[in-house]
Amino acid sequence: MKIVVYENRFFVYVYDNHIFNKLMREFFEQYCIYENPNFKYMNSNLDFVTNNNKIYDGINRYYSFIKNKENKYIGFTAGIGFYKIFIKYLESNNISYELIDKRSEEYLNFYIDENTEYKFPLKTELTFRDSVKEHLKLIYRNRRGLVAAAVNYGKSYVALDLLGKAGEGTYIVAQKGLLKQFRDLVLNVFELKPRKDICYMFNSFKINWNAKIYLISSDMFYNNYKRALQTIKNKDKVSKEEYEKAKEVINYIHHVLSRKVVYFDEIHDISRQSMFELAKLCKAPYMLGVSGTLEKRGKETVTRMYCCFGYKNVLYRVKTSDLVKEGVSADTTINVIYFNNTSFTNTLYKKNPSILNNKEKLLTAYRINRNFAPERMYLRAYLKVYDDYVIFNKDLNIIALNVALNKALKEDKTTILYSNNIDHLLLLYLLLDRLNTIKLLNIMDKVTVIHGKISPVRRNSLIEGLKNDKYKIALVSDVATTGYNIPNIRCMLYLANKGSDSLVTPLQFLGRGHRITETKKYFEYYDLTAKLAYINNATRNRIKEYKKEGYKIKETFVNVTENVRIMFDDLFKYIKDNANDYINNPELNNVFGTHMQECFLHKFIKKPSPGTKTKENIVRQNNNIQFELL
């Protein structure tokens, strides 16, 4: 057996068929393969099987097989993260091998430590807590690995320390808002020229071979890499200039990913193909992946991390409870609030309450197509239940708005309400606007909405408004849950996750509240959820995760009085009766956009209840988004 190792991959050539089969059955099953019926197995004539299924060339490209000229399998290549565990496996099984190390001398010999001086002039001195100093020593020694550190730990300052001591490096993140925030931090700490020394790739691809620090949005950067590869592949179909430009782009991308330090922030986003592909290309001596929710996105995402950063190579973990004890983060108690199943638009529950806990009955009630796989059918039913009994749950919306208005108006606390469904944000905004008119609250100029359809520039402007107390109530979607630093948040409401048991979003959202100030040592957090089997499953998973992170949990069941529900029925009826006016409202268009409002109002406000017969459903398509006019 011969092993050839490079900075980012290693190649294994196996000439003994017995050993090759042993590797397939044992090593790959244990470390690389996760069976999934949605994966496509290799269409090939392999002479080995595992669990009666053919070994497949991983769809996530953790590894791939090597063929010879006769089209026979003679080995495989895998991400460098599996290298150490593979060598350990060979030695524990007494399998001999020849090692050829192709890594450069610079890669092998470059180290920094606590005594290394910063290569950039400092505007502001970098100081670290004793615990962080010990963690930095681990990073200096290991060079490559993963870090699980909760919000407010100081992850950005760890990145600054590594970039400053190396004198060059690359910072990669998926969220553009976080990229801008880190650039501002770099310019505040180091004496660097914004255009000459920092190559900031926010919305556009820029070539600057002499930059000292590269700040990259992973999606944009990888898309340019894919386009360049496609151009080279179609060499005969493109001009010479296009071909040479594509070669330059490829060389430049390899240059950027081969700096002495490459720092991947929010590495749980390696679930995105762009982040994963960039991590596999990386040849940096120091390569660090950091997240506050490191292992919350399932096996596949974790295996991607192991493939690039080392198998189970988590250098250290810091929980929120650890930071609270250190006095670094604000404390909180998780208030889980359960509600009755009262809907604005649906009478299904009143007719047959047990139906909401029976998947088969739900499939029938919501007329779900039975030709799909069971997982898809149940997910569709879940989303229907979510629409009717979360988005339009009277009690949930009543309490959410009541808490928000009380905290903002009576206690002068900045309050954030999260829903990952923009339709829900729109309904909350419409209800709030109507309440504002009826009760003469004079609050709407203090209300903002932040979601993914808003441009990054405007989004950052709204975030700044929150920081500066221009707004007291913010309705936010996923886009505002990661990376943003808003220290003055005093109250947070989490409105049930839609169609997902993901634990990343609630923990990331919760992290926004932990920023501590001189006047803020504690903040309020409410997790609101309907008492339904489907929704409750995700809620139970969140509670387990809250407990793992060291949070105190308080669970409460809330009954809303009937007269309050009647008042909200009147609010909803007003919205329904004036749907066309809302569609054409210029202020509302500025917040949500005409098309989004039209989709929402036709999809929900004018739809029939399940089981209601309609003469005709007319499907109208606009900007590739479909909705029904009923």
Residue 277 scores a pLDDT above 60: yes
Would 602 be classed as within a structural domain?
Answer: yes
Place of tokens 């179609």: 234
E strands along 395-459, which residues?
A: 414-418, 447-450
Query: What mean pLDDT comes out for the span 581-604?
Result: 75
| Res 38 pLDDT > 90 | no
- Per-residue pLDDT at 440 exceeds 90: no
Q: Count the Cβ atoms, other than its own, within 10 Å of residue 122.
A: 12
Contacts of 280 (CB under 8 A, 6+ apart): 8, 9, 61, 79, 307, 308
Render pLDDT for 111-142 as a digit per residue (tens, 0 to 9).
Answer: 999 999 999 999 999 999 999 999 999 999 99
Residues 164 and 196 in one domain: yes
Higher-confidence position of 74 and 59: 74
pLDDT for 472 equals: 94
Which of 96-110, 145-159, 216-230, 537-551 comes out lowest in average pLDDT?
537-551
Where does the pLDDT of residue 41 fall: very low under 50, low under 70, confident under 90, or very high at 90 and above?
Answer: very low
Three-state SS string over 232-250 comes to HHCHHHCCHHHHHHHHHHH
In a domain, 619, yes or no: no
Shared domain check, 349 and 379: yes
Q: Of all helices (H) and strands (E), which one includes residue 227? A: helix 218-233
Confidence category of residue 51, pLDDT binned at 50, 70, 90 = very low
Q: Is the pLDDT of residue 44 over 60?
A: no
What pLDDT, on the 0 to 100 scale, is given for residue 417? 94
Out of 291, 318, 345, pick the residue that ends a domain.
318
CA atoms within 13 A on the CB side of 516: 18
pLDDT of residue 534: 66
Looking at the structure, tell me whether residues 35 and 164 fall in a common domain.
no
Please calculate the CA angle 550-552-558 and round it to the nearest 5 degrees: 145
For residues 404 and 496, membership in a common domain is answered with yes
Which region among 231-245, 273-287, 392-406, 470-484 has the lowest average model confidence (pLDDT)? 470-484
Last residue of a domain, one of 318, 353, 372: 318
Q: What is the pLDDT of residue 614?
A: 38
User: What is the reported pLDDT for 494?
Assistant: 92
Residue 612 lies in a domain: no
- The reply to whether 282 falls in a domain is yes
Structure confidence at residue 115 (pLDDT): 95
Same domain, 311 and 338: no
Domain with residue 566: its CATH number is 3.40.50.300
- Same domain for 7 and 86, yes or no, is yes
Distances (CA, A) of 596 to 153, 238, 388: 38, 40, 19
**Same domain as 435, residue 380:** yes
Domain membership of residue 618 (yes or no) is no
Confidence of residue 185 (pLDDT cuts 50, 70, 90): very high
Say if 508 falls within a structural domain.
yes
Q: Give the residue from 318, 346, 366 where a domain finishes.
A: 318
Judged against a pLDDT cut of 80, whether residue 566 lies above it is answered with: yes
Residues 253 and 379 occupy one common structural domain: no
**DSSP assignment, residue 623?**
T
Least confident piece of the model among 65-79, 90-104, 280-294, 323-337: 65-79
Q: Kindly state whether residues 433 and 573 are assigned to the same domain.
A: yes
Answer yes or no: do 303 and 441 share one domain: no
Q: Is residue 309 part of a domain?
A: yes
Element (H, E) at 554: strand 552-557
- Provide the whole-model pTM: 0.82
How is 34-99 classified by DSSP, letter by letter? Answer: ---TTSPPP-S--S-EETTEE----TT-SEEEEE-TTS-EEEEEEEGGGHHHHHHHHHHTT---EE
The sheet with strand 473-476 has its strands ordered as: 447-450, 473-476, 414-418, 489-495, 524-530, 333-339, 552-557
Q: Are 74 and 145 within one domain?
A: no
Question: Same structural domain for residues 421 and 294?
Answer: no
3-state secondary structure of 507: helix
Q: How many whole angstroms separate alpha carbon 345 and alpha carbon 582?
A: 18
Residue ranges making up the domain that contains 22: 2-103
Burial of 50: CB neighbours in 10 Å, binned 0-12, 13-18, 19+: middle
Average pLDDT over residues 357-376: 70
Q: What pLDDT, on the 0 to 100 scale, is given for residue 497?
A: 63
Tally the domains of the chain: 3
Average pLDDT over residues 502-525: 86
Q: How far is CA 173 from the centre of its chain?
A: 11
Give 362 or 338, the one with higher predicted confidence. Answer: 338
Kindly tell me if the per-residue pLDDT of 560 is higher than 60: yes
- In-domain check, residue 587: yes
DSSP 169-189: EEEEES-HHHHHHHHHHHHHH
